[in-house]
């Protein structure tokens, strides 16, 4: 049974300040239609520009993940995206009246609880996950970063961090399925080292920072005066160093909370791939820059696989639906301008035809005779003749009709076609035929390799109409 896409039942808002900008913001989650995905809408800007949660829109990873599109930016998106993935939502519009996602308590838990409060709604469309087909690796040797996505019929994460810190040491975190996110990961807060905190404060880079929304790891000797200074800065009566080697502003929710938060960040950043994933993600020393680079690599693999998936492989030696004689009973073309030898499939919306390329064809006498290559115009004509079979099959007397090109668009020649090759053309209607006008998308393949693609518009006209016009 297929899992359905889902959104939320009604809108709900949360309020807070941005960690880095310090600007207050109200963020409203809204239901969205099928295949919408995750999108941010900056309602505080003219025109309310929309920013897609897409890895190609990432413009900064220095202190969180920033997206920019249509002249608008949204900062620190990783925690809210992790929350959306963690509750397995597919389609949500996120309206924001400021430049940065509210930091809340530094984790995803308040987002998760808000989403669960309004509940979820199953939609009609199936959820289309991308299953990792083989190991996909990413590494940064200088930073000792290693990441791999492995095939698995679930969404599993394993994360290891190692900051060469006597306080943190090496930490591991894992979930065996995404349904464990709320219980094991969602409440794990962001963390930083004390020396980083001091640098950020000095450069005014965490204007919304508060000791309630971050774990501060003490990685150096700290004097009483320095602790008093921090207490004053954060409006605290007193600050000290807890037994675990962190500032005593908060207690750890898990002994390995920093590693769990890194796993949370990774889930949020990989949401930018744009589709739900199935696979086991393992990472050593991840960070936002590495997560985004890894997401881009996975997205590139998805794009490559989808291109292959949408092109079915046909056996050119299969018994034809129409042979060349039957084709000539439909098409008006004749040798040397008949370029289709077989029709393998024909339905109301698609057709599959075959052209065998042989050295004795007339055009090879003049088209690079020393290095024969099938001319591109012949490939397009052969594709059009294949489409002509589809179009003429819609009329009861095809011999009394002719098919004329109106437009050819988005033509791509992707590989040479040589004598001895066999091209299999597939043409699909892009929309129903209306008033004799048809629009088709065509693909030509040699084996498993796409050699030509094009979109074509044509018109079918009765022969008598043609004679009258002349």
For residue 229, what pLDDT is reported?
64
pLDDT given at position 244? 59
Q: Residue ranges per domain, the chain?
A: 4-184+260-304, 191-252, 324-469
pTM, entire model: 0.68
339, HSE (Cβ side, Cα atoms, 13 Å): 23
CATH superfamily for domain 324-469: Hotdog Thioesterase (3.10.129.10)
Q: Are 95 and 28 in contact (CB under 8 A)?
A: yes
Over its length of 470 residues, how does the chain's per-residue pLDDT go in tens digits? 579 999 999 999 999 998 878 899 999 999 999 999 999 999 999 999 999 999 999 999 988 999 999 999 999 999 999 999 999 999 999 999 999 999 999 999 999 999 999 999 999 999 989 999 999 999 999 999 999 999 999 999 999 998 777 677 899 999 999 999 999 999 999 887 776 666 666 666 565 555 666 777 776 666 676 666 666 666 666 666 665 566 756 788 998 999 999 999 999 999 999 999 999 999 999 999 999 999 999 999 998 887 665 667 888 889 999 999 999 999 999 989 999 999 999 998 999 999 999 999 888 888 888 899 999 999 999 999 999 999 998 888 888 888 888 999 999 999 999 999 999 999 999 888 888 889 999 999 999 889 999 999 999 888 765 444 43
- Sorted by sequence, the CB contacts under 8 Å of residue 451 that are 6+ apart come out as 379, 413, 414, 415, 416, 417, 423, 444, 445
What is the rounded distance in angstroms from the CA atom of residue 132 to the CA atom of residue 151?
A: 5
Q: How high is the pLDDT of residue 468?
A: 42
Query: Cα separation of 155 and 203, whole Å?
Result: 39
Looking at residue 60, its pLDDT comes to 96
Q: pLDDT value at position 220?
A: 62
Q: Maximum Cα–Cα distance for the chain, whole Å? A: 100
Residue 466, pLDDT score: 47
Tokens describing residue 173: 């975190």
CA separation for the pair 5, 125 (Å, rounded): 6
Active site residue 288: yes
Q: Which of 75, 79, 280, 288 is catalytic?
A: 288
How confident is the model at residue 208, as a pLDDT? 52
**CATH of 4-184+260-304 given 3.40.50.10420, 3.30.230.20, 3.40.190.80, 3.40.50.2300:** 3.30.230.20
Active site residue 367: yes
The alpha carbon of residue 351 and the mean position of all alpha carbons in its chain are separated, in whole angstroms, by: 30
- Who contacts 93 (Cβ-Cβ below 8 Å, separation ≥6)? 29, 30, 31, 32, 36, 39, 41
Position 470 scores a pLDDT of 39
Q: What is the pLDDT of residue 439?
A: 92
Computed on alpha carbons and rounded to an integer, the radius of gyration of the chain in Å comes to 30
pLDDT value at residue 42: 98
Active-site choice (36, 333, 350, 367) = 367
């Amino acid at each position: 049974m297929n899992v359905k896409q889902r959104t939320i039942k009604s809108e709900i808002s949360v309020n807070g300040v941005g960690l880095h900008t310090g600007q207050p913001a109200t963020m409203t989650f809204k239901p969205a239609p099928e295949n919408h995905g995750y999108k941010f809408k900056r309602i505080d800007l003219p025109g309310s520009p929309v920013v897609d949660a897409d890895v190609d829109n990432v413009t900064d990873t220095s202190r969180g993940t920033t997206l920019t599109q249509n002249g608008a930016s949204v900062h620190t998106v990783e925690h809210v995206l992790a929350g959306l993935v963690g509750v397995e939502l597919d389609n949500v519009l996120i309206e924001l009246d400021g430049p940065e996602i509210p930091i809340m308590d530094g984790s995803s838990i308040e987002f998760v609880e808000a989403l669960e409060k309004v509940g979820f709604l199953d939609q009609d469309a199936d959820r289309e996950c991308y299953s990792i087909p083989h190991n996909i690796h990413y590494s940064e040797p200088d930073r000792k970063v290693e990441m791999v996505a492995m095939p698995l019929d679930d969404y599993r994460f394993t994360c290891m961090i190692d900051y060469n810190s006597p306080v943190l040491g090496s930490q591991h975190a894992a979930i065996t399925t995404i349904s464990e996110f709320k219980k094991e990961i969602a409440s794990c807060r962001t963390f930083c080292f004390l020396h980083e905190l001091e640098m950020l404060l000095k450069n005014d880079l965490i204007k919304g920072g508060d000791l309630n929304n971050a774990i501060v790891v003490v990685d150096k000797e700290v004097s009483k005066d320095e602790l008093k200074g921090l207490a004053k800065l954060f409006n605290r009566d007193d600050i000290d160093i807890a037994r675990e080697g962190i500032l005593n502003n908060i207690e750890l929710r898990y002994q390995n909370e920093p590693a769990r938060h890194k796993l949370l960040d990774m889930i949020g950043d990989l949401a930018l791939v744009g589709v739900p994933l199935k696979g086991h993600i393992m990472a050593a020393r991840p960070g936002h820059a590495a997560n985004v680079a890894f997401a881009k690599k996975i997205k590139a693999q998805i794009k490559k696989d989808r291109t292959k998936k949408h092109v079915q492989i046909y056996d050119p030696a299969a018994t034809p639906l129409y042979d060349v004689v039957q084709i000539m009973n439909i098409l008006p073309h004749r040798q040397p301008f008949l370029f289709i030898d077989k029709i393998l499939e024909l339905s109301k919306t698609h057709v599959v035809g075959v052209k065998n390329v042989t050295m004795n064809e007339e055009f090879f006498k003049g088209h690079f005779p020393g290095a024969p290559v099938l001319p591109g115009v012949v490939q397009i004509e052969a594709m059009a003749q294949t489409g002509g079979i589809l179009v003429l099959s819609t009329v009861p007397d095809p011999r009394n009709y002719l098919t004329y090109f109106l437009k050819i668009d988005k033509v791509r020649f992707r590989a040479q076609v040589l004598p001895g090759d066999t091209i299999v053309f597939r043409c699909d209607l892009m929309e129903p035929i209306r008033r004799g006008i048809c629009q088709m998308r065509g693909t030509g393949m040699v084996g498993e390799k796409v050699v030509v693609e094009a979109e074509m518009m044509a018109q079918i006209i009765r022969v008598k109409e043609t004679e009258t016009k002349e």
